[in-house]
Structures are given as C-alpha cells and as structure tokens.
Chains A and B, each alone.
Chain A
Amino acid sequence: MKKTLNCSAEHALYLKKVRRGKIIVQAARFGLLLAVLGIWELIAGLRIVDPFIISSPSRIAIMIADLARDGSLFYHIGTTLWETLVGFAIAVSLGTFIALALWWSETARKVLEPYIVVLNSLPKIALGPVIIVWFGTGSSAIVFMTVLVGIIVAIMNMLGGFLATDKNKILLLRSMGATKRQILFKLVIPSALPQFIGMLKICVGMAWIGSIMGEYIVSKAGLGYLIVYGGQVFKLDLVMAATAILCVLAAGMYALVALAEKILVKNDRS
C-alpha cells in the first residue's frame, strides 16, 4: 500500500480510482443489506403486512436473544454444525478416494459410470424413508443424508480433475520410466489441487443441503428442526431466526474454504 510514494502522479491517480471503486462496492453491499432490513422492519412495524406472516428483523433479533438466554440456541447450532461438518468431511474424503480408485482403473470407471450418473440425477430426498428405517431417527441418519448428497458431486468433480491431467506431462513422466503410482503422486494429485478446492466449495453448499434436508425428514434438534417446528406451529420468527443463523454459518464455512484456497494456492502456485 505504501508503495505509492515512488510512482508517477498518473499512477497514483489510477490507484486512488481503484481504491475508490472498492470502497463504493463495499458501501453498496452494506447499504443494500441495511435497506432490505429497514424496509422489512418498516413494513412490519407500520403493519402494512402482518408481522405474524413476515416476521421482522427486530422480532428475529429478540427471538435469537431468547433462544440464546435459555441455551437452546447453541444446542441446535451445535447439532446441525456437527452433522454438517462430519457429513462434509466424509463426503469429501471418501469421494476423493473413490475418484482416485476410478482414475486408477479404467475398467472400474466404465463399469460404474452409469450407476454414478443415475445416483447423481436421483433426488436424494427420495431415499428418506429408507434412511429412517436403516439409521433410525438419530444424528447418524442426518449425517448419512449429508454424505449422500455430497459424495457423488465430490466423485464426479475430482474424477473430472484427475482425468484432465495434461497428457503430455504424463508422456514426459512415462518417458522417464515412471510407474503409475509415481504418475499419480508426482503429477495427477498435485495438478488436481485447484479442482479439489473447487469441489470443496461446491460440497460446502451440498453439505448444508444434506443436513437441513435430513433434519426436515427426521430430527429432534438442529436448525432444520427449528425451521420445520416453527413452520408447523406458525412461529415465523423462529423460522426466520434459524434461517438467518444458517446464512451466517454457511457463509462462514465458505469463507474458511476460500481462506484455505488462498494459503494452498499461494504455496503451490498451481
């Protein structure tokens, strides 16, 4: 930032312009949020629409504070977060591992291809009853649902990345006498790193879909449970409060992946 000291006036002006542009975007983002919340509050406060139907930012804040006071807020957040993270971790690691196996064996890839395609298009929620019967009504059912939603995407993304490895670089390694194992570890895995980060980003979203969907079908706790329960008893404040918390958590998890990307890509320059 301090490098502006020894540059031409024209360049300084250019930098100033760039900085101003950034500030405008930030201000507009924040302003948009405030405007939406303000208009919402106003519509509810002036009773243009019944706040019983649309809730309002202040009522949501009070609801969150209430939930926080009796401690149930953290219990529900913890439950959903745990299910999501465990499901995410299993989907990503198992998915990557299966993708590696499919890269390794062309025959396995050909045999399994139609199954993967079908599983990918199948709406996972259709398996809800089966999951309840197999896993009961505990957290394991929800984790399984989360894995189910994420793993196919993880497999397809990573397999695509592995198969897109530069053919000439493989030829180069083969000319050096490399074994398949060496090609995998020296070339295929490192060159698929950007694909891996991209897959993580997609799977964050998938994991939240999986865990909340799982909680819709079967649950005794969690943010998805609060949303369903709030809907059933017509407490829109509760529905909105849980949704708002969900937004923050999902954004936070995405930000963590983006941070991981920055660190990994900086070290590896791929």
Chain B
Amino acid sequence: MNERNTARPILSFEGVSLTYHTNTGETLAAKDMSFCVYEGEFIAVIGPSGCGKTTVLSLAAGLLKPSAGKIRVRGEKKGAEVFGYMLQRDELFPWRTVEANIFLPLEIQKKNTPENRNRALSLAEKYGLGGFLKHYPDQLSGGMRQRAALIRTLAIQPEILLLDEPFSALDYQTRLSVCDDVYNIIRSEKKTALLVTHDISEAISVADRVLVLSARPACVVASHELEFGSTEPLKRRESPRFSSWFEILWKELNI
C-alpha cells in the first residue's frame, strides 16, 4: 500500500526465542524469530499446524515473555492498550448484552467515559450492529457475533490488531463474508493487523504480506509481498495471481 510508512516498524521481533517448560521436559517453540510489522500493514502468518502460530500473538501481546531476544513496540500507548486481541471464537459474555460486551475493554482499562462509550457505539452503529445493541449474544448469528467481537476489540482504539484464526469457528459461507467484513472494517479504521491462520487462501485473500513459519521450533522462513493493493478478499480469490500465490505458499509449507 502506498500510504504505508515503511520507515517505521510499529512492532518488531528481534531474534526472539521461546522455551516452554513442563514436567516432562522443555520445548523450544520459537527460535531466533525476526520480523517487522509496519504501520497500516495487514500481515498474515501461516505455518504448519502445531508450529506455534498462536505463540507469536501471545508474545506480541506480552502475555508470554520471550526466553531470548527482544520485542519492540513503538507508539504512544503502552502495554495492553496497544493491542486488540481477537480469538477463534467470539468469546462474548452470554450474560452481557452486545452493548455491555463492547464496553468490556473500556471497563477493564478504566476508560469507561461517556466519550469512549459513544465512540464505541458509533463504531457499532457504523458497522451494522446498531439494532442489536440491547440483544444478548445468543440472539445473534455467528457472523454478527464475530462482528460484535471485532467492535469490542476496536473499542479501546488499539494500534495493532492480533487475530488468532478469527474465522475458523464459522461455517464456510459465513466465513467468506465475515472475512470480507473484517477486512473492510480494519482497512477503513486504518489499523495494523497481524493475523495467524492455517488457511493459505484466507491469508492470501486479506494480507499485504504473508510470513511463512517453519515447523517447530518456529522461525520465519519467508516473507512475501502479495501486491494486491486494496483489492477485497472475495475479488482476490477470483484473480489469477491468487492461485499462483497459493501454489508458492503451499510448497513452502510442505518443504
């Protein structure tokens, strides 16, 4: 993307390693992992299953401390305020209304001011949740719930979105449309996003750049600029370049 500021990485992993300790031994989950994420970029991380893709997000969000190496986050905000984490399932609290769910991060970060609440509500309004604010999550469709989860993530205005296979719990039809949805919302809010997925076609359809991880211990083996510009996910899937990218990435995953 042209407007991207390539001179200033907002998040960088510098030689990051992570060792898990359990009673039965220690596992090297990530080894000497280095990459940068630039402002406004949409990055997809793919890798063979069990390679520790989720670990990358946990490390970025500071939920796990690296055993070696450094993770730098640049920006005015600090800690949890920088990141918006979105999980496989929407994880909306069933006893809260959609509105109260969206306010949850504001409550947690003690930013529950009328101004912030209104901003969150206008986001919900803008992205089609206006009529559902007083509903409970179990009254919403899977796609709507995931959209509510995204608005909840955006409520605290994070600088970087961390998406952990956010579409994998949805059925195929919903998945394609929610993927389109989320892509458009993230684009129009001009957020930086780091998506991990095991789905190659999903990665190609949303990302500016795809990082390929190796099997455990994970490290970055390739980084590809897709150069689709701001083409929407469903349109990308029709492009002839889609299948050539698919082939390249598929081969890299199966080395």
Contacts and interface: CB of A to CB of B under 8 A. Distances in A.
B95 A190 contact: yes
A168 B89 contact: yes
* Interface size range of chain A in the complex: 20 to 34
Contacts of B105: 176
B91 A172 contact: yes
Given A175-B63, A176-B109, A268 B95 contact: yes
A164 to B, nearest CB: 15
B93 interface: yes
B246 interface: no
Interface string B108-149: 110000000000000000000000000010100000000000
A186 B162 CA distance: 22
A193 interface: yes
A182 B156 CA distance: 17
A268 B96 CA distance: 7
Nearest to A268: B95
Given A177-B80, A186-B108, A270 B94 contact: yes
B83 interface: yes
A177 B85 contact: no
Interface string B19-51: 000000000000000000000000000000000
A175 B93 contact: no
B107 interface: yes
A168 B91 contact: yes
Given A182-B108, A186-B108, A177 B91 contact: no
Contacts of B89: 168
Contacts of A187: 93
B109 A190 contact: no
Interface residues of B, number: 23
A174 B95 contact: no
Contacts of A193: 95
A113 interface: no
B136 A269 contact: yes
Contacts of A268: 95
A42 interface: no
Given A177-B79, A186-B104, A169 B63 contact: no
A171 B63 contact: yes
Interface string A187-211: 1001101000000000000000000
B83 A175 contact: yes
Contact of B80 (A168, A171, A175, A190): A175
B104 A176 contact: yes
A175 B61 contact: yes
Given A168-B89, A174-B63, A186 B107 contact: yes
Contact of B91 (A169, A186, A270): A169
A186 B136 CA distance: 17
Contact of A172 (B87, B94, B136, B138): B87
Interface in B180-211: none
Nearest to A269: B136
A176 B95 contact: no
Nearest to A265: B95
A166 interface: yes
A174 B79 CA distance: 11
B93 A190 contact: yes
B81 interface: yes
B176 to A, nearest CB: 24
A173 B87 contact: no
A191 B92 CA distance: 12
B138 A269 contact: yes
Nearest to A179: B108
Given A171-B87, A270-B95, A177 B63 contact: no
B108 A176 contact: yes
Contacts of B109: 176-177
A178 B87 contact: no
B79 A169 contact: no
Interface in A88-143: none
A168 B165 CA distance: 13
Nearest to B155: A176
B192 to A, nearest CB: 16
A155 to B, nearest CB: 24
A93 B119 CA distance: 40
7 contacts: A168-B91, A172-B91, A176-B80, A176-B109, A177-B80, A186-B107, A193-B95
Given A176-B104, A269-B138, 20 more contacts: A166-B91, A168-B91, A169-B93, A171-B63, A171-B85, A172-B85, A175-B85, A176-B80, A176-B85, A176-B105, A177-B108, A177-B109, A182-B108, A186-B107, A187-B93, A269-B94, A269-B95, A269-B136, A270-B94, A270-B95
Name the 7 nearest CB pairs between A and B, nearest first: A177-B80, A175-B85, A268-B95, A176-B108, A270-B95, A176-B105, A178-B108
